[in-house]
Homo-oligomer: A and B are copies of this chain.
Amino acid sequence: MNAEIIAVGSELLTPQRQDTNSLYLTDQLNALGVEVVAKLIVGDDRARLAEAIRAALVRSEILILTGGLGPTEDDVTRDAVAQALGREQVFHQEICDAIEQRFRRRLRGAMPEINRRQAYVLTGAEVLPNPNGTAPGQWIASDGRVVMLLPGPPSEMRPMFHAECLPRLERVLPPQVIRTRFFRIANMPESTVDQLIAPVYTRYTNPVTTILAAAGDIQLHLRARSATAEEAERLLEEVAPQIEAILGERIYSRNGDPLEEVVGQRLRARAETVSVAESCTGGMLGERITSVAGSSDYFRGGFLVYTDRMKTELLGVSEALLREHTAVSEEAAREMARGARERTGSTWALSVTGIAGPGGGTEAAPVGTVIIGIAGPEGVATQRERLPGNRALVRTLATQVALDLLRLRLR
Task: Check A343 against B359 for contact (C-beta < 8 Å).
Answer: no
Contact mask A339-366 → B, CB, 8 Å, 1/0?
Answer: 0000110000000000001110000000
A338 interfacial by beta-carbon distance below 8 Å: no
Quote the shortest CB–CB distance from A78 to chain B (angstroms): 16
* A389 to B195 alpha-carbon distance, docked (Å): 42
Task: In the complex, identify which listed stretch (A33-41, A235-243, A374-382, A402-410) lies at the interface while the others stay far away.
Answer: A33-41
A293 interfacial by beta-carbon distance below 8 Å: yes
A126 interfacial by beta-carbon distance below 8 Å: no
Task: Check A291 against B282 for contact (C-beta < 8 Å).
Answer: yes
Contact mask A278-291 → B, CB, 8 Å, 1/0?
Answer: 10111111111111
* A132 to B209 alpha-carbon distance, docked (Å): 27
User: Which B residues lie within 8 Å of A115 (CB)?
Assistant: 191
On chain A, which size bracket covers the interface?
Answer: 35 or more
A248 interfacial by beta-carbon distance below 8 Å: no
User: Which B residues lie within 8 Å of A282 (CB)?
Assistant: 283, 286-287, 289-291, 295, 299
Which of chain A's residues 64-98 have a Cβ closer than 8 Å to chain B? 70-72, 74
Task: Check A290 against B306 for contact (C-beta < 8 Å).
Answer: yes
A307 interfacial by beta-carbon distance below 8 Å: yes
* A304 to B17 alpha-carbon distance, docked (Å): 33
* A51 to B52 alpha-carbon distance, docked (Å): 12
Task: In the complex, identify which listed stretch (A6-14, A139-147, A164-172, A224-232) lies at the interface while the others stay far away.
Answer: A6-14
* A284 to B327 alpha-carbon distance, docked (Å): 23
A331 interfacial by beta-carbon distance below 8 Å: no
* Residue from the list B283, B299, B300 in contact with A284, Cβ < 8 A: B283
* Residue from the list B192, B300, B310, B390 in contact with A310, Cβ < 8 A: B300
Quote the shortest CB–CB distance from A358 to chain B (angstroms): 6
9 nearest A-B residue pairs (beta carbon): A282-B290, A283-B286, A283-B283, A15-B27, A302-B304, A301-B310, A283-B287, A106-B388, A284-B287
